[in-house]
Amino acid sequence: MPIVAQEIIDRVRQVGLDAEGADYYSDTVDIIPSINAAVEWLTAIINSAFGQKKMGEEVFQDLVAARVFQASDNSRIYLNPSDLGHELWTILGVYVKPKVKEGGWLIGTLSGVQVSPTAPKAIFVYPSTTDLSVVTAGSTVAFTYKDKTTGVETTTSFIVQAVNNNTKAILVDTSPITDLGAFLNIGDTVTAKAIYLKASITSTPIIDTLATPDNSIYRPDLVHISSEHSAKRLTVEEWAKNSKNPFMAGNEVLSSGCDTLVYAYMNYTDYGAPNMPYTIPREIEIRPSVKNEAVTVFYARRPKPIVTGTDNIEFPGFFSNWIFDKALQYISFKQGDGTTIYNVTAADINTLLQSVT
């Protein structure tokens, strides 16, 4: 549970300053800015302690997010704060080849289409990894088809008549199109993206090629479900050395289907060149290449500064003392060095710091 800011404000006022009911200290001028400063200070402490594995991931419990991105042609991802709606603090994990769920239209990879001899019916066949258990008769299937002659694409909805999760086949009534044969022949296999299911399907998503190959995109339409491939973080030096070492993460020696392959990522780098139209501020890079593929990034976002007492301080409750002591210490700055509050809080803060550093 996050900390309600008013609890800290009251504690600072009553316990620390002995100023309940007094207007000498103002919430907006003194206490809230001090709390925000304390949160920033705590952020720096956690950065250090977490990096040294002296704090667990539970310190981020109110700040952790998992978002799906589509990697650029260069296998890079830019976590754009304006797309995400918040600033990033630290990356906790990068997951490759995730199974995802789409909010409305869930996408299944189509591996084949057979037009039934008794049209208007068609069988859509999905890969063996697709979970069709959630698709039931009566679900809607949107089918994007292309006219053989004109090449014009049209999308039409079909009703699912039967589902076989063993053979991964769906039988649909194609009655809106009485002559599906004008578009597909019996036994045709469609390997491109053609079928979208409007039911919950968890699978590796179909990803279009990017409009601008150098720019990764955030995919707010995809929800991360699971992944078997976490990427290991490498330093800049390791990044080059590991490339041809089959025993190290991020190598390009093992084939991409190899179970023992471990992906890797390199932290933010600005790859921009002054004379090139490459203006992405900072990107993480993943290897082996996941060009245009979905990648899930688990990260902690920066805690939002509080504005009023009703806001939440986005840290777990066990950080109350840290924030209280540090906020009080910031207020004591105004009172001049050597005040009692300063010394008392400094001692408390040192005690807390020693427990994690």
Taken in order 51, 55, 57, 60, is the CA torsion positive or negative?
negative
31 vs 249 by CB, closer to other proteins: 249
Measured from the Cβ of residue 123, the count of other Cβ atoms closer than 10 Å reads 17
To the nearest whole angstrom, how small is the minimum distance from the Cβ of residue 59 to other proteins?
18
18 vs 237 by CB, closer to other proteins: 237
Distance CA 73, CA 333 (A): 52
Using alpha carbons, select from 323, 282, 291, 243 the residue that is nearest to residue 80. Answer: 282
Taking each helix axis from N to C end, the angle separating 32-51 and 340-356, rounded to the nearest 10 degrees, works out to: 30
To the nearest whole angstrom, how small is the minimum distance from the Cβ of residue 247 to other proteins?
5
255 vs 354 by CB, closer to other proteins: 255
To the nearest whole angstrom, how small is the minimum distance from the Cβ of residue 298 to other proteins?
13
DSSP string for 118-153: TSSEEEEE--TT---TT--TT-EEEEEEE-TTT--E
93 vs 309 by CB, closer to other proteins: 93
Using alpha carbons, select from 186, 36, 180 the residue that is nearest to residue 120. Answer: 180
Which residues of this protein are in contact with other proteins, per CB under 8 A?
Answer: 230, 232, 235, 237, 246-249, 254-255, 257-262
Using alpha carbons, select from 280, 248, 245 the residue that is nearest to residue 264. Answer: 248
To the nearest whole angstrom, how small is the minimum distance from the Cβ of residue 92 to other proteins?
11
Give one word for 18, left, alpha or beta, with left for phi > 0 and alpha for psi -120 to 50. left
Residue 246 tokens, joined: 């089959």
DSSP string for 82-93: HHHTS-EEEEEE
To the nearest whole angstrom, how small is the minimum distance from the Cβ of residue 283 to other proteins?
22
To the nearest whole angstrom, how small is the minimum distance from the Cβ of residue 306 to other proteins?
34
104 vs 257 by CB, closer to other proteins: 257
184 vs 249 by CB, closer to other proteins: 249
Residue 155 tokens, joined: 């999308």
127 vs 246 by CB, closer to other proteins: 246
To the nearest whole angstrom, how small is the minimum distance from the Cβ of residue 68 to other proteins?
22
